[in-house]
Structure 1
Amino acid sequence: MLEARESNATDSETAAAAISTTPARYFNRELSWLAFNERVLAEATNANYPLLERLRFLSISGSNLDEFLTVRVAGLAGQVRRQIEEISIDGMTPSQQLAAIHEEVLKLERMQQDAWKDLKRLLAAEGVRVIGEERLGHAGERWLKDYFLEHIMPVITPQAIDPAHPFPFVANQGIGVLFSLTRIADDAPVMEMVLIPSALSRFVRVPGEEAIYISVEDLICRHAAQLFPGFRVNGHGVFRILRDSDIEIEEDAEDLVRYYRTAIQRRRRGLIIVLQLQGKFDPAAEDLLRSQLGLDRALVIKTGGLIGFSGLSAIADEDRPELKFEPYSPRYPERILEHDGDCFAAIREKDIVIQHPYETFEVVIDFLRQAAADPDVVAIKQTLYRAGKQSAVIAALIAAADAGKSVTAVVELKARFDEEQNLLWASQLERAGVQVIYGFVDWKTHAKVSMVVRREGDSYRTYCHFGTGNYHPVTARIYTDLSYFTADPKAGRDAGRLFNFITGYVEPKRTELLSISPISLRATLYEAIDDEIAHARAGKPAAIWAKMNSLTDPELIDRLYAASQAGVEIILVVRGICCLRPGIEGLSEHIMVKSIIGRFLEHGRIWAFANGAELPNRRARVFITSADGMSRNLDRRVELLVPIRNKTVHDQVLGQVMLANLLDTEQSWILEPDGTYERVGETENPFNLHRYFMTNPSLSGRGASLASGRKVPKLSLRRGNI
């Protein structure tokens, strides 16, 4: 028996040694993303969720997949076309990745169709019907016909497909219908195409107490006789295309604003990446479509069900409260209310951290509004990555400029799919007198910072807001993020250095508190990991807890492998892509990875290092950051890593937020060594992270109520239960 054990140990060591130096120690980034979207889709089948929320998850999975295909898959297809053999970290060529991705996408699409079939049936039982060819009563049919004639027919344009008519351009995410017709007068076959304008609603609701919806493409097919008088309709097929939507920055772009304005136009005409076909296409019509669209390396998906799942969000908005999550109203920080709403007085008293969406994003808006109105405020500096379409942040900055304050806004033009909106905001800010900076050509400015300089007595005090999420009031209601307010002079001086770096390319020689990417953030993380390795080797408790959206950087992953091999206990909460392979004996057996998918989208980024004692502890080194564990964040973006030193804030971030993420069982998935994710099953003590924070106030920001006896259930970690 002893010999057998020694043999097994030797085998596992050999296997670990073999994998530790090969690409097999990493998961493929793209396949990991598809696994993430599969977890999102799984929520559409979650019987614990209300039906319309399940439908929303299906819609989100569709929207996610569209973006993945038009950006990530488009990039790989471009590499194949240009014969670029760039090997992924897991050892695959672009063509190998495309083949594997196509297989997984087809599997995911089948799962989406199955989920839609079930949801459609369940919703119909609750009085929310989506019809196709089904007939309604006389009044319903009359209304559909009138709606088609009055609202649809005037804006669509049938086009014959023949040598006399050039093949029409189909926009990205464009939907069209191809009709096979016979002209009754001479029995001649005719092919007609109808492209559906994006201005039309994807689903039309029939008036009445019962919610009856029909897709605009089904409505058009239903009334083909009105559209083509004098023709016999032999068949039709609905199609949808996705185009390459990525924007590549040219190093010699002299005018970044002009470059982006033209690049956005080019994106709308990018190469076709996916062709989706619905229904029984006439073979000749399908051949015509394929040849005319000029497909090259494109994925063709045929389905008998729905195409364009993202459009289901319109139905998910149906006014049926009993089929949705109970409404939630975020809290306003009590400590700020105790100072009569004066944000600066509250921050001056003590640092404060706000956790969105449980605590309102309105406090961030108020911070800027008060700065704009305060006669003692002399300057405001602000980064803007994604601010949304109706941004109170922009309004506050304009108001500050109108009040004569010095206002600087760093607007990131390279925020994917928000480029056009950000150009609009930049133009409005400039007209108001705001100094608008576009940052670096090669690097995105992804750090989330507000800096307010206020005259107090004979000196100036700098107030800072550091966030893990965007200054976006809509996403702040559904993304979990941290907003940290401080008047620490070191933080203020470092924030000033950061803005000088962005606006004037003045690289700081040193910082007092903050770590900045791409200058020092990676080095700070490595130093903290190496310290834990040293603690483990010295026989002291050694642990790392981290929370992020994605982990793909091979160097950072290898550093975590080294920590695991030294005996450091590591728990990672990675919502999306994770290229680290956990649980491999001799390589990563001390690493556990979980993903949380639930009512809110986990978006905050936190790092915690034990520092010689069991986590959680008061001595632990705790950081919040705008950066994920990706090469682009660490090397090609301007990011911030902010240490948390205030006792109360430290306790909240580590002992509440981070610990609650680790304890969650009801919304958690565990990453297995083979790359699959398993949902955490029934447990003796179930815990729901989101429910906990919706029903319990946080530590930071509670002010005098901390001493009022109003108790919050204290979280504790039982070793071995995670």
Structure 2
Amino acid sequence: MLNLKNPDLFNNRELSWLQFNTRVLKQAQDESLPLLERLKFLAIYGTNLDEFYMIRVAGLKKLFTVGIIESSADKLTPLEQLREIREYLHQEQQVVEHCLNSILKKLETNGICIKYYNEVTQQQKHYLSKYFNEQIYPVVIPIAIDATHPFPHLNNLSFGLIVKLRDNDNPALERSGIVRIPRVLERFVELDLNTFVPIESIVAKHVEELFPGYTLIKQASFRVTRNADIEIEEEEADDFMEILEEGLKLRKKGAMVRLEVESDGDEELINFFNRHINVYRDDIFRFHTFINLSSLWQIVTNKKFAHLLVEPYQPRNLPPLDNIENIFSTLEKQDIVLMHPYESFDPVVQLIQAAAKDPDVVSIKMTLYRSGTDSPIVKALMGASESGKQVTVMVELKARFDEENNLIWAKALEKAGAHVIYGIKGFKVHAKATLITRKKGGKLKQYAHIGTGNYNPSTAKIYTDMSYLTSKDDITNDLTRFFHFLTGFSKKGKLNELYMSPSQIKPKILSLIQNEARKGVNGRIIAKLNSLVDDDVIRALYKASQAGVKIDLIVRGVCCLKPGIEGVSENIRVISILGKYLEHSRAFYFKNDETGIYISSADWMPRNLTRRIELLTAIKDQKAKNKILQVLKLQCADNSLAHELQSDGSYIKVKSDGVKNINNHKYLEDYVNKITKATKKESASVVEQLLGNLFIEGEEL
């Protein structure tokens, strides 16, 4: 009998994440993509890596410090993981720099240049000197470091220059200092003819103006990364909002975990700096290109260069939401599943806006995890509350890196008179749900939205997610219990039609997998999610594979399961899809289950299954089930954007091998456009047939 707890059967979570970010980097290397699209993926790669160091690497360092030896099913110690991470990233840095230089050279042929100060014309230098005096000089902070000037505190992701200076009056005297370049200043200064100059090269040229009486000897740009994970002792939090606000301040002061410096900086300069911040030597990264890949967003989002990005897609409203007067009466007739971003998120926004204005609506209940900075949904909720409706909003203040934004919305909602819940002690509320109660014919009727993604109209245009809209009593009654659980006291937290973590989702998932295993070769599972980490779920999938169940897993990011191991997982295929849109939805198909199709806010990770409030929803409407299943099968057939996980933890790009090229993102765009055109000139029966079927080469999937 095979030991399914053998650590060799599991990929390490952190190393699997690095593989995911490498797939992002491969998108930047893909020469078939427009140049700015490739630059965008480099910016995403850099942003991802910043967060990985701030949270994951920082967490491993803390585990090592407190003496934790074993932290995951693969049995790698924190120190072993840190060593492998550092080796991986130092090797990959060369690939990153080569990729960036290649893109920049090709951008230059398209009239877009990034040049350092010493590479521009004399006339441009004159302009940059004027710009420095007017825009930079008043804002940058020159800091001397000596016995009377202690080393300053540097916030997380602080950026600037390390400098060595010579006293003009006493040439034997050398001084050290830094120049902080605040984030309020743009990373690149734009010149005429689409030329961008890194701000640090401008500051470096004018250092002697910042330190009068001194001559610059050496300089190097730097960027520091701190531990940004906020720890809150909720048992001691009498005022949770106050504690969180304090935690946000402390985030800026977390332990240093990474130092990035430009390669021109010599060892003496770097050692001087590092004596004060104390970063481990292998967490120092020297760049031959400019520091901070995430700053490339400034160029990527420049509207002048939109022609160098992938052509934008306009989300559509399909029947029955394409020409609707009353969304409530529509939901009374049928359930609706929306596939974002191909189908617009607008109906979800309009549902909440309609509820806010409808005099028959008596209450709106909602969870908010990440809502964006200018949320029409939150504004509608505020308006509803001010007009006298009962508005209850669960605002998750612990949504990482959105804490500050959520604090602002929570205070605004409270001011408008809404009942605001600030989280459940010990758990994050990650479920995405709305419940609207409305008077109809002397009775109360309820309407629900349950989603896989956040209530954020902006990200709904670039994330693939699913929305389920219904007025079915069994669902709305369960959501009533769900919101009562959030606002009141409950030790059970058990729902009847829906499944809620931490108590219900994991047992349900395990039960569904085990049921397929009992069917042997007649079993079939397709699961689409962002991350697969949970040991128990992985072992259940291994057992199902051993029983002969065919399993397709569409896992965007971390996957700790190893497919293709003889006698264990040879019936499991794992692919990751990366492309124009960020795959974000969670949907599952179990062939022998009575319902068969489920959507969820939860990934198969311990945090989602045991430490968060999540929802798993069975989809029972036949049309909605068919729609989701066909999208899952389409993604399994993708041979353009998919990478397949190998048993050694690496990924190989799936090849079409002369078969029809299937890019599921493009395919779904075209499919939705086809229906939109058909609604204008085809009969209702033709449109209905199109809505019910996806086709590849005339064959239904």
Q: Give the alignment's TM-score, normalised by structure 2.
A: 0.95
**1:459 matched residue in structure 2:** 443
The answer (yes or no) to whether the contact 1:256–1:441 under 8 Å persists in 2 is no
The answer (yes or no) to whether the contact 1:648–1:700 under 8 Å persists in 2 is no
**2:583 matched residue in structure 1:** 602
Q: Give the alignment's TM-score, normalised by structure 1.
A: 0.92
**1:281 matched residue in structure 2:** 265
**In structure 2, the residue corresponding to 1:167 is in which secondary structure?**
coil
**2:413 matched residue in structure 1:** 429
**2:194 matched residue in structure 1:** 211
**1:281 Cα offset (Å):** 2.1
1:252 and 2:228 are equivalent in the alignment: no
**1:620 Cα offset (Å):** 6.1
1:681 aligned partner, one-letter code: K
Residue 297 (structure 2) aligned to one of 304, 313, 321? 313
Residue 660 (structure 1) aligned to one of 634, 640, 649? 634
The answer (yes or no) to whether the contact 1:273–1:297 under 8 Å persists in 2 is no
**2:535 matched residue in structure 1:** 554
**In structure 1, the residue corresponding to 2:648 is in which secondary structure?**
coil
**1:7 matched residue in structure 2:** none
Task: Name the stretch that deviates more: 629-638 or 227-236.
Answer: 227-236
**1:113 Cα offset (Å):** 1.2
**1:692 matched residue in structure 2:** 667
The answer (yes or no) to whether the contact 1:547–1:606 under 8 Å persists in 2 is yes
The answer (yes or no) to whether the contact 1:179–1:237 under 8 Å persists in 2 is yes
1:227 and 2:201 are equivalent in the alignment: no
**1:329 matched residue in structure 2:** 314
**Within 1, Cα distance between the matches of 2:694 and 2:595?**
17
**Within 2, Cα distance between the matches of 1:663 and 1:48?**
21
Q: Percent identity?
A: 38
Residue 651 (structure 2) aligned to one of 655, 677, 683? 677
The answer (yes or no) to whether the contact 1:113–1:306 under 8 Å persists in 2 is no
Residue 552 (structure 2) aligned to one of 571, 588, 591? 571
1:626 and 2:609 are equivalent in the alignment: no
**1:10 matched residue in structure 2:** none
**In structure 2, the residue corresponding to 1:358 is in which secondary structure?**
coil
1:130/1:19 CA distance change after superposition, 3 Å: farther
**1:709 Cα offset (Å):** 2.2
Q: Deviations over 1:346-390 (max 9, x none)?
A: 111100011111111121110000000001111100000001111
**Within 2, Cα distance between the matches of 1:584 and 1:378?**
56
Residue 270 (structure 1) aligned to one of 254, 274, 280? 254
**1:698 Cα offset (Å):** 8.9
Q: Deviations over 1:381-418 (max 9, x none)?
A: 00000011111111010011011110000010110011
**Within 1, Cα distance between the matches of 2:476 and 2:624?**
18
Residue 158 (structure 1) aligned to one of 139, 142, 149? 142
1:392/1:561 CA distance change after superposition, 3 Å: same
**2:686 matched residue in structure 1:** 709
The answer (yes or no) to whether the contact 2:318–2:343 under 8 Å persists in 1 is yes
**Within 2, Cα distance between the matches of 1:551 and 1:693?**
25
**Within 1, Cα distance between the matches of 2:38 and 2:674?**
32
The answer (yes or no) to whether the contact 1:272–1:298 under 8 Å persists in 2 is no
The answer (yes or no) to whether the contact 2:551–2:572 under 8 Å persists in 1 is yes
Q: Deviations over 1:521-543 (max 9, x none)?
A: 1121122112111222xx6x210
**In structure 2, the residue corresponding to 1:149 is in which secondary structure?**
helix
Task: Name the stretch that deviates more: 579-588 or 281-290.
Answer: 281-290
**1:498 matched residue in structure 2:** 482
2:577 aligned partner, one-letter code: I
Task: Name the stretch that deviates more: 114-123 or 484-493.
Answer: 114-123
**1:699 Cα offset (Å):** 11
**Within 2, Cα distance between the matches of 1:508 and 1:703?**
48
**In structure 2, the residue corresponding to 1:154 is in which secondary structure?**
coil
**Within 2, Cα distance between the matches of 1:141 and 1:300?**
32
Unaligned runs of 5+ in 2: none
**1:645 matched residue in structure 2:** 620
**In structure 1, the residue corresponding to 2:186 is in which secondary structure?**
coil
**1:111 Cα offset (Å):** 2.0
**Within 1, Cα distance between the matches of 2:456 and 2:402?**
12
1:72-111 alignment runs, 5 A limit:
72-111=56-95
**Within 2, Cα distance between the matches of 1:558 and 1:68?**
27
**Within 2, Cα distance between the matches of 1:325 and 1:567?**
42
1:240 and 2:223 are equivalent in the alignment: yes
1:257/1:366 CA distance change after superposition, 3 Å: same
Q: Deviations over 1:615-634 (max 9, x none)?
A: xxxx7600000000101111
**1:241 Cα offset (Å):** 0.4
**Within 2, Cα distance between the matches of 1:82 and 1:266?**
20
2:670 aligned partner, one-letter code: T
**Within 1, Cα distance between the matches of 2:608 and 2:432?**
13
1:515 and 2:495 are equivalent in the alignment: no
> What root-mean-square deviation, in Å, do the aligned CA atoms of Structure 1 and Structure 2 show?
2.1
**Within 1, Cα distance between the matches of 2:321 and 2:405?**
32
**In structure 2, the residue corresponding to 1:709 is in which secondary structure?**
helix
Residue 290 (structure 1) aligned to one of 274, 299, 306? 274
**1:180 matched residue in structure 2:** 164
1:224/1:362 CA distance change after superposition, 3 Å: same
1:610-621 alignment runs, 5 A limit:
610-611=591-592, 621=596
**1:321 Cα offset (Å):** 2.7
**In structure 1, the residue corresponding to 2:174 is in which secondary structure?**
strand
1:525 aligned partner, one-letter code: I
**1:512 Cα offset (Å):** 2.9
The answer (yes or no) to whether the contact 2:675–2:690 under 8 Å persists in 1 is no
**1:706 Cα offset (Å):** 7.8
**Within 1, Cα distance between the matches of 2:578 and 2:564?**
22
The answer (yes or no) to whether the contact 2:517–2:549 under 8 Å persists in 1 is yes
1:407 aligned partner, one-letter code: V
The answer (yes or no) to whether the contact 1:135–1:141 under 8 Å persists in 2 is no
**1:282 Cα offset (Å):** 3.6
**1:136 matched residue in structure 2:** 120
**2:472 matched residue in structure 1:** 488
1:706/1:231 CA distance change after superposition, 3 Å: farther
**In structure 2, the residue corresponding to 1:386 is in which secondary structure?**
coil
**In structure 1, the residue corresponding to 2:119 is in which secondary structure?**
coil
1:375/1:698 CA distance change after superposition, 3 Å: farther
**1:517 Cα offset (Å):** 0.8
1:477 and 2:477 are equivalent in the alignment: no
**2:526 matched residue in structure 1:** 545
Q: Deviations over 1:126-159 (max 9, x none)?
A: 1110011443233312111110111001111212
**Within 2, Cα distance between the matches of 1:370 and 1:104?**
51
Task: Name the stretch that deviates more: 18-27 or 315-324.
Answer: 18-27
Residue 339 (structure 1) aligned to one of 292, 317, 324? 324
**1:703 Cα offset (Å):** 8.8
1:80/1:96 CA distance change after superposition, 3 Å: same
**1:21 Cα offset (Å):** 3.6
**In structure 1, the residue corresponding to 2:400 is in which secondary structure?**
coil
1:588 and 2:569 are equivalent in the alignment: yes
The answer (yes or no) to whether the contact 1:185–1:230 under 8 Å persists in 2 is yes
1:380-419 alignment runs, 5 A limit:
380-419=364-403
The answer (yes or no) to whether the contact 2:117–2:197 under 8 Å persists in 1 is no
2:101 aligned partner, one-letter code: K
The answer (yes or no) to whether the contact 2:335–2:471 under 8 Å persists in 1 is yes
**1:8 matched residue in structure 2:** none
**Within 1, Cα distance between the matches of 2:675 and 2:592?**
23
**Within 2, Cα distance between the matches of 1:181 and 1:304?**
23
**Within 2, Cα distance between the matches of 1:470 and 1:709?**
33
Task: Name the stretch that deviates more: 471-480 or 566-575.
Answer: 471-480
**In structure 1, the residue corresponding to 2:445 is in which secondary structure?**
strand
**Within 1, Cα distance between the matches of 2:353 and 2:273?**
54
The answer (yes or no) to whether the contact 1:86–1:93 under 8 Å persists in 2 is yes
1:594 aligned partner, one-letter code: I
1:190 and 2:175 are equivalent in the alignment: yes
1:316/1:534 CA distance change after superposition, 3 Å: same
**Within 1, Cα distance between the matches of 2:257 and 2:2?**
37
Task: Name the stretch that deviates more: 571-580 or 159-168.
Answer: 159-168
